[in-house]
Amino acid sequence: MMLVFGKSFVWTDLAIASGLFMLMAAFTFPLFQILKPGYIGLTIVIGFVSTVLLSRFVFESYSENVKAVLSFFDRYPFSTLFTVSTIIVLCLYALSWILSTTIYRRKAF
C-alpha cells in the first residue's frame, strides 16, 4: 500500500501494523472460543464498525482533552512511547491467550 502512495517503506510501519494486528487478535481470540463459527465474522465486523464510530464521537466530544493527552505524549521520545506500547500490546495478547485457553478447557463439547 505504501508503494501506491509513493512513500518508502520503513520498519516502523511494519512494527505498527504488527502491533495493531496483535491488538485486534487479542480481542478476537476469546470470541472464537465463546461464539459459534457462524457468528464470529459478524461480531468482529460489528465490533470494528462500532469502535470506529465510537472513537470518532469521543474525539469530537473531547477535543480539548485529546489535545492535552497528545501534548503529554509529545514530551516523551518516540522510542519510549514505542517500547511502552509494545509492552502493553504484548501483555494484552498474553492475557488474551490465557483467557482463550481457560475458556477452551472449560468448554463442554
- Residues 35-84 have pLDDT tens digits of 888 888 888 899 889 988 998 888 787 777 877 888 888 999 988 999 99
Provide the pLDDT for residue 2.
63
Does position 3 have pLDDT exceeding 80, yes or no?
A: no
- State the DSSP code for 100: H
Q: pTM of whole model > 0.85? A: no
Contact 16, 81 (CB under 8 A): no
Provide the pLDDT for residue 85.
92
Task: List the beta strands (DSSP E) in the chain.
Answer: none
Provide the pLDDT for residue 15.
87
CA–CA distances in Å: residue 4 to residues 13, 14, 60, 90: 15, 16, 30, 31
Provide the pLDDT for residue 87.
95
- Residues 4-32 have pLDDT tens digits of 777 777 888 888 889 999 998 998 889 88
